[in-house]
């Protein structure tokens, strides 16, 4: 009886969170943010739990050691700082924004957990051609975390009991959800919003603000048949390229640096 009472209180608390988290998204789609059963603090807590799960499974997620790859990590943190210091990231000071590199040359992927834990695969870094392209990718992923897309989408995918177990630290549930987050296919609106945020974050910097389009342009130019693991294919990649370029023009972004030579030097240091 006592447990049922406290569980009812927990559900009531989450319902109150739901009511307080509804609002307009602030993107150009004119849609709603959607309901999110997590608070910002719980996003951060959940991200820490997912990070611990990834660190505990080096076979699936072989993380490059930061001590023996100092220059590469310093380079990624420099790019991250350029994005965060743009003044456009809403949760800049709330999340940790930690960066880790996964040693897997066959995977073209990057993802960011709730709470701002950023993961980049060596396969993607070696596939891209310049710093502005990688900055566009990282800015896109930061956009997903900053707009809290993962927990917003999970709210629609899982029931209250499941989310309560996650917040409570249920290891089995966290392990299951971790795989879901890494392979999460965001909605069309979430992908469009993250693309838009990528341009907005890079606009005040010296980078080409539409650097995020480079990945798709490279695939199209090569006529690649590779499975696109980085970013959902919705909306259509061609439309996404147009969106990146149009957003840069609309925002009047003047940055034009790609830093391609420095990027290639850093990538050559990857194992």
Report how far residue 266's alpha carbon sits from residue 88's, in angstroms, rounded to the nearest whole number: 27
The tokens for 114 are: 């709730």
Taking Cα atoms as reference points, which of 13, 56, 55 lies closest to residue 37? 13
Is residue 270 within 8 A of residue 72, CB to CB? The reply is yes
Starting at the edge strand that comes first in sequence, how are the strands of the sheet with 98-102 ordered?
98-102, 117-121, 110-112
Report how far residue 205's alpha carbon sits from residue 209's, in angstroms, rounded to the nearest whole number: 8
pLDDT of residue 19: 33
Report how far residue 185's alpha carbon sits from residue 221's, in angstroms, rounded to the nearest whole number: 24
pLDDT in single tens digits along all 271 residues of the chain: 444 433 333 433 433 333 333 332 333 333 335 688 788 998 998 889 889 989 999 999 999 999 999 999 999 999 999 999 999 999 999 999 999 999 999 999 999 999 999 999 999 999 999 999 999 999 999 999 999 998 888 777 776 777 777 777 777 777 777 777 766 677 788 899 999 999 999 999 999 999 999 998 988 887 754 545 444 445 567 789 999 999 999 999 999 999 999 999 999 999 9
Cis peptide before 235 (omega within 30 of 0): yes
Provide the terminal-to-terminal Cα distance of the chain, rounded to the nearest Å: 57
pLDDT of residue 8: 35
C-alpha angle 128-186-219 in degrees, rounded to nearest 5? 25
- The answer to whether the predicted template modeling score (pTM) of the entire model surpasses 0.95 is no
The tokens for 138 are: 């990282």
Phi-psi region of 30 (alpha: psi -120 to 50; beta: other; left: phi over 0): left
């Amino acid at each position: 009886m006592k447990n049922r009472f406290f569980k009812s209180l927990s559900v009531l608390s989450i319902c109150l969170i739901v009511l307080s988290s509804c609002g307009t998204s602030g993107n150009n789609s004119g849609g709603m943010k959607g309901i999110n059963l997590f608070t910002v603090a719980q996003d951060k807590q959940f991200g820490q739990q997912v990070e611990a799960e990834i660190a505990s499974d080096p076979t699936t997620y072989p993380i490059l050691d930061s001590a023996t790859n100092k220059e590469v990590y310093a380079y990624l943190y420099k790019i991250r700082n350029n994005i965060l210091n743009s003044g456009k990231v809403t949760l800049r000071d709330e999340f940790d924004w930690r960066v880790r590199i996964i040693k897997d040359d066959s995977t073209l992927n990057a993802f960011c957990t709730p709470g701002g834990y950023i993961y980049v695969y060596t396969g993607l870094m070696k596939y891209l051609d310049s710093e502005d392209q990688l900055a566009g990718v990282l800015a896109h992923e930061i956009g997903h975390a900053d707009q809290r897309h993962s927990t917003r989408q999970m709210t629609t995918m899982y029931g209250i009991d499941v989310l309560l177990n996650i917040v409570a630290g249920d290891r089995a549930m966290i392990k299951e959800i971790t795989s879901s987050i890494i392979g999460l296919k965001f909605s069309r609106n979430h992908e469009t919003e993250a693309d838009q945020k990528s341009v907005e974050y890079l606009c005040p910097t010296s980078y080409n603000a539409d650097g995020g389009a480079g990945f798709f342009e490279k695939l199209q130019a090569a006529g690649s048949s590779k499975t696109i693991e980085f970013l959902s294919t919705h909306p259509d990649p061609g439309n996404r390229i147009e969106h990146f370029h149009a957003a840069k023009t609309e925002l009047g972004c003047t940055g034009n640096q790609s830093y391609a030579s420095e990027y290639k030097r850093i990538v050559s240091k990857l194992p």
